[in-house]
């Protein structure tokens, strides 16, 4: 009996991510959710700009590549034109919380019936480790070599808390994937975000606190510990909106 194998909603393409990058884990969780709900044939994904720009190669469903940050707007269009399709976006923090903040906030305010998977790793990965809107105070990056100084560079943005001030979203949860237990919880959250859309409940966003071993300058295992030590105190896990509850 097979206990664990690659989900069918992932293609056989080799992931281009760095060793130990948690993008791979989240890709798998999204694919497992698509498999479990049996919606592979009618799912449309929207890929972002950033490390996960080539996500369209990895999901075995229809995929669209959006302009930088515009994935929620593209998803809105697809969902409104073809409401029977399940539309999700997969975005990083540079894409969703920086250049795409406007699209994100307005899609949430409108309560679009789409699913957003948001990867927050507190840094710009693809471009080489620059400071992101989610970079922690004091965190050293390529563009904050002395650590992020909130007096000049501002404070990190907590996306779930910010969106929870709006009336539009149906479901907002922050999860992480730094150990087996948390991966299982993340799976439940992602599954729920997709299920909400199938049931027509409205805007669902799951923020996944992730690691970037390469640009954080750590081993993959140490990066997972760093999530516990540094990221989670600033980005507390939990459900920020659940219209059912």
Partner 1 sequence: MAKLTVNEELCKGCGLCVGACPKHILALSKSKLNKKGHSPVELQKPEDCIGCAFCATMCPDCVITVEK
What is the nearest approach in angstroms of partner 1 to the Cβ of residue 6?
A: 4
Residue 229 touching partner 1 (CB under 8 A)? no
What is the nearest approach in angstroms of partner 1 to the Cβ of residue 32?
A: 10
What is the nearest approach in angstroms of partner 1 to the Cβ of residue 1?
A: 5
Complex with partner 1: residue 17 or 124, whichever CB lies closer: 17
Find the binding residues for partner 1 in span 24-43 (CB under 8 A): 24-25, 28
Are 33 and 21 in contact, with CB atoms under 8 Å apart? no
Binding partner 1 (rule: CB under 8 A), the pick from 9, 23, 72, 171 is 23
Residue 5 touching partner 1 (CB under 8 A)? yes
Residue 3 touching partner 1 (CB under 8 A)? yes
Report how far residue 62's alpha carbon sits from residue 45's, in angstroms, rounded to the nearest whole number.
6
Residue 230, CA distances (Å) to 108, 138, 215 in order:
28, 11, 15
Report how far residue 23's alpha carbon sits from residue 212's, in angstroms, rounded to the nearest whole number.
9
Report how far residue 243's alpha carbon sits from residue 97's, in angstroms, rounded to the nearest whole number.
23
Find the binding residues for partner 1 in span 153-212 (CB under 8 A): 179-180, 183-184
What is the nearest approach in angstroms of partner 1 to the Cβ of residue 8?
A: 11
Report how far residue 117's alpha carbon sits from residue 103's, in angstroms, rounded to the nearest whole number.
14
Report how far residue 188's alpha carbon sits from residue 197's, in angstroms, rounded to the nearest whole number.
14
What is the nearest approach in angstroms of partner 1 to the Cβ of residue 71?
A: 22
238 exposed, middle or buried (CB, 10 Å; 0-12, 13-18, 19+)?
exposed
Report how far residue 57's alpha carbon sits from residue 1's, in angstroms, rounded to the nearest whole number.
29
- Give the contacts of 38 (CB within 8 A, at least 6 positions apart): none
Residue 6 touching partner 1 (CB under 8 A)? yes
Residue 8 touching partner 1 (CB under 8 A)? no
CB atoms within 10 A of CB 195: 18
Residue 124 touching partner 1 (CB under 8 A)? no
Binding segment for partner 1 (CB under 8 A), chosen from 10-18, 135-143, 198-206, 234-242, is 10-18
Find residue 244's DSSP bridge partners. none
Binding segment for partner 1 (CB under 8 A), chosen from 19-27, 63-71, 100-108, 119-127, is 19-27
Binding residues vs partner 1 (CB under 8 A): 1-7, 10, 14-15, 17-25, 28, 179-180, 183-184, 213, 219-221, 224
């Amino acid at each position: 009996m097979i206990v664990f194998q690659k989900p069918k909603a992932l293609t056989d393409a080799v992931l281009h991510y760095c060793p130990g990058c948690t993008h791979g884990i989240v890709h798998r969780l999204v694919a497992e959710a698509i498999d479990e709900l049996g919606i592979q044939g009618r799912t449309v994904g929207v890929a972002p700009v950033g490390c996960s720009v080539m996500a369209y190669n990895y999901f075995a469903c229809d995929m669209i590549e959006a302009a930088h940050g515009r994935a929620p707007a593209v998803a809105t269009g697809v969902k409104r034109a073809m409401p029977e399709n399940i539309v999700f976006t997969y975005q990083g923090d540079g894409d969703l919380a920086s250049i795409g903040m406007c699209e994100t906030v307005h899609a949430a305010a409108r309560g679009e019936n789409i699913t957003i998977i948001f990867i927050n790793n507190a840094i710009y990965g693809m471009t080489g480790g620059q400071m992101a809107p989610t970079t922690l105070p004091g965190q050293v990056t390529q563009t904050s070599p002395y650590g992020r100084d909130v007096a000049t560079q501002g404070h990190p943005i907590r996306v779930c808390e910010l969106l929870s001030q709006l009336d539009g979203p149906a479901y907002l949860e922050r999860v992480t994937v730094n150990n087996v237990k948390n991966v299982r919880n993340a799976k439940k959250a992602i599954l729920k975000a997709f299920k909400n859309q199938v049931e027509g409940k409205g805007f669902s966003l799951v923020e996944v606190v992730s690691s970037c071993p390469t640009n954080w300058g750590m081993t993959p295992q140490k990066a997972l510990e760093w999530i516990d030590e540094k990221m989670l105190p600033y980005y507390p896990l939990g459900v920020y909106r659940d219209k059912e509850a």
